[in-house]
Chain A
Amino acid sequence: MPDGSVIGVSGVCGTLAAEWRDIDALASDGLLSSAPGVLREFGFNRAHMANPASGAGPLVLAAARAALEDAALSPTDIDLLIWAGARPESHVRPPRGGTSADVFDGFRYQSAWLQEELGLDNADVLAVAQQGCSTMFSALRVARSILISEPSRSHALCVGGDVLPAGASREILYNVISDGACAVVLSRDAMSDRWVGFRQISCGFYADPIERAPEIMAAYFPLARQVILETLDAHGLRPDDIDIVIPTGVNQASWSILTRLVGIPEDRVYRRSESFGHTILADNFIHLHELRRDGLVRPGQRMLLFTYGFGSSWCALVLEH
């Protein structure tokens, strides 16, 4: 039975690969499908690119350490570690020798490695996958559910990150992709960013993002609007009750349209001064980290986080600072 505890975000951090290349350079290297001008119109100007040989591990490790510090927790305080990765390769350590010839390479899990690296000696470890860009949202959902159903647990560390392989296209469905990671600590009785509500709509009809690309584009807005309004409605909120919309890094014009569809004033969308593209699953939490760090969110303000992930899932999360 739920024990009535408040679950909230006690710590968060997002990290981007340090190296980046601008749109024109990416286009010259044949890593984009659309013309640079079109992508600039959509708000993109660069992609952050990590060393593919290292995988997402270093980015995630850095984010996790910073999130623990933000939460003022030591590694042994963590009861649960959940690893989120949008791509299957993000769940295993980079293969020894550079190729995955050995079946055992598939069992060298990133989550286990991270547990050891951080010294999370008291944590149970699990992972969430197969939700594309919304994987991190589901990791948080699972973490919260475990904290509620197992009152002896107090702190869950959710981490996620993806690094594209060498030579991979840096454009997916008109979005420029960066390598990045994030870490979020969910805690019982957290004093900030209380979990208000969450809703997910999953639709397997859109499982194939190549074959169903036009249908996904068509379904994006109606289902985004639906999941957001259902989340708000389930918790007695109106669109105007949302003070900040924490977006992903996808096409900026789409956020203008979405907020109009939902009825949230467009100026409540958090806009970073410099776009970092789309890190697949870390965007919202990179933005949340910035908002908290820079004092841009006041106590009592409600934040809406939304994302769409291949598979497909539309997810909305409301937090109260």
Chain B
Amino acid sequence: MAVLVTGATGHLGPHLIAELLASARFDRVFVVARSSGSEPAARRVQAIERIARTSLTARGIQDAGGHVIAIDGTLDGDRLGLSDRDAAHLANQVDVIIHAAADTRFAAPLDVLRRSNADGTRAVCDFAARCARLRQLLFVSTACVAGQRVGRIPEQVVDAPGFVNAYEQTKWEAERIVTASGLPSRIARLTTCVGGHHAGYVHRSGAIHHLLHWIARGLVPMVPGSDESRIDLISTDVAAAWLARVAVQDPVDVDVCHVALGGSAIPLDMLLDHVVTGLARTGSAARVTRPLVVDHETFRSFQAMVRSSGDALFARVQESASAMLPTLLYPKVFETRSAEACWGGPLPHPDWRSLVSMLVAATVERTPALARV
């Protein structure tokens, strides 16, 4: 079979490509990438493929020899930026589309994120409609579409909740586009992917990594939340493995699955304790104060104080943190029954402590300011 992947140059990319190659179900893996500045799409894709194959070798996994083929394209229109002929040629081959491309900058403006996340998804759906052999459009969404909902979050398409940021909103909009497309589709809502647990590898940093960076620098005195706040962190390897497995399972209807810890999500206080302990063990040069968990009013007052002070670094930290942190005020637990049914049982999440320790070590390693002189 042939699979078309978007977003392979993002955080999930190398992990997903590795799992698709290891699955032995796809002899062709088409990777859509945009040529960037002086770097042609083919070279970008080659780099991703190299990382993927290296990781498989390190894990002692023999990939089945599938071919990774770069497609120099964009998510504009129904031809992915390709010529009519090339688009038709590609559409005739594709059995599965995994649409993982997204702009994950939480603090970006709504119109910017809408162009990438909603309009880009529409373009993929329009292309998918041309794929005569299509068995599944697997849309990589995010659990963040639950927005300001609290409590148990079902694996269903839901009406618009309030949203904490534009990222949440535009991913929800993208889900609506997928469900309205009439295509055989499955929506995979991933919770926060922190990196691969096999090799401790983080391909591209996201909001969680930025936040951890600032905590490691001792610049996050408080986060909003409550006793009920939980953080659902998963290994990117597990997310990729799940996607690769369900890519060959034809959806029955529009399936919605939460690839998540669900009921095992980590209490915020425990996570912060573990992070701070981990940072202390790394011998970081910074002095980390354990962030306090505070109510919304206190957090808002502190942010207002920081804004008024005009301190440039602090303002940067707060801007980075404030796009993501308010989600902690809406404690929720993601149901995972559908995701587990697709997998054939509970997902093989690694122990969260070892995952977080890996994340902490990677953060310190990537932050020169933390190196001891």
* Contact across chains for B292 and A222 when beta carbons are under 8 A apart: yes
User: Does B314 have its Cβ within 8 Å of any Cβ on chain A?
Assistant: yes
User: Does B222 have its Cβ within 8 Å of any Cβ on chain A?
Assistant: yes
User: Does A118 have its Cβ within 8 Å of any Cβ on chain B?
Assistant: no
The digit string for A252-292, where 1 denotes a CB below 8 A from any CB of B, is: 01101100110000000000000000000000000000000
Q: What is the distance, in angstroms, from B354's C-beta to the closest C-beta of chain A?
A: 27
* Contact across chains for B221 and A218 when beta carbons are under 8 A apart: yes
* Contact across chains for A260 and B297 when beta carbons are under 8 A apart: yes
Q: Which of B287, B290, B301, B302 interacts with A215 by CB under 8 Å?
A: B287
CA–CA, A38 to B317, complex, Å? 20
The count of residues in chain B whose C-beta lies closer than 8 Å to any C-beta of chain A is: 28
User: Does A18 have its Cβ within 8 Å of any Cβ on chain B?
Assistant: no
Q: Which of B220, B305, B308 interacts with A257 by CB under 8 Å?
A: B305
| Chain A contacts for B305, CB-based, 8 A | 42, 251, 253-254, 257
If A214-B313, A253-B304, A257-B302 touch, whether A221 touches B217 (CB-CB below 8 Å) is no
| Chain A contacts for B218, CB-based, 8 A | 215, 218-219
* Contact across chains for B301 and A218 when beta carbons are under 8 A apart: no
| Chain A contacts for B304, CB-based, 8 A | 253
* Contact across chains for B287 and A221 when beta carbons are under 8 A apart: no
| Chain B contacts for A251, CB-based, 8 A | 305
When C-beta atoms are compared, the residue in chain B nearest to A204 turns out to be B287
CA–CA, A254 to B298, complex, Å? 10
When C-beta atoms are compared, the residue in chain B nearest to A254 turns out to be B305
| Chain B contacts for A213, CB-based, 8 A | 311
10 A–B contacts from the bound complex (CB under 8 Å): A34-B310, A213-B311, A215-B287, A218-B219, A221-B222, A223-B289, A253-B308, A260-B301, A261-B222, A261-B298
Q: Besides A221-B292, A223-B289, A260-B295, 6 other CB < 8 A contacts?
A: A38-B310, A42-B305, A42-B308, A217-B306, A217-B309, A257-B302
Query: B interface vs A, CB < 8 Å?
Result: 217-222, 286-287, 289-292, 294-295, 297-298, 301-302, 304-306, 308-311, 313-314, 317
Report the 5 A-B pairs with minimum CB-CB distance, sorted nearest first.
A205-B287, A222-B289, A214-B313, A218-B219, A218-B221
Query: A interface vs B, CB < 8 Å?
Result: 34, 38, 41-42, 174, 203, 205-206, 213-215, 217-223, 225, 251, 253-254, 256-257, 260-261
